[in-house]
Amino acid sequence: MRNKALWLIVGSLLTAVAGAREAQLIADLEAISSSGQSIQIFSQLSPLQINKIHGWQIVVRAADGEPVSGAEISVSGGMPEHDHGIPTQPRITRQLEPGVYLLKGVRFHMPGKWQLVVEIEQPGQTGRAVIEFEL
């Protein structure tokens, strides 16, 4: 009886740890590009806030799940309802590991609906994804 209670406690602790790990792996934003690449965005500022400049890690995988290395990635966008762009020009500064890119200079200056266009250029193919989110 006592042993059973202990196992139940251990069981729920393990579940809690697994839950925390999963939570860290959940992307802030994600999309599938027109070429079938998966794009996951992990913001260094999460949840996103108004007017704070920060960086993003962008993880790009091909349709088969392999990391996409050496791609040219550009991020643009704006607020479609206000007819203006993003206030900065975020740039990929380096590739941190295969398929993981560091985007610097991200800032959103007002609340509302934002739309981002992520373009991924690789030799022979270009993928494009539109990501919408509410801030």
Is 109 among the residues that bind Cu ion (CB under 5 A)? no
- The per-residue DSSP string of 92-133 comes to EEEEEETTEEEEEEE---SSSEEEEEEEEEETTEEEEEEEEE
Is 82 among the residues that bind Cu ion (CB under 5 A)? yes
Shortest approach of Cu ion to residue 90 CB, angstroms? 17
Shortest approach of Cu ion to residue 112 CB, angstroms? 5
* Phi then psi dihedrals of residue 41, to 5 deg: -115, 125
Q: Which residues pair with 118 in a beta bridge?
A: 75, 129
Contact 77, 115 (CB under 8 A): yes
Stretch that binds Cu ion, among 30-38, 45-53, 63-71, 110-118 (CB under 5 A): 110-118
Among 58, 71, 75, 79, binds Cu ion (CB under 5 A): 79
Site size toward Cu ion, by CB under 5 A:
3
The contact set with Cu ion (CB under 5 A) reads 79, 82, 110
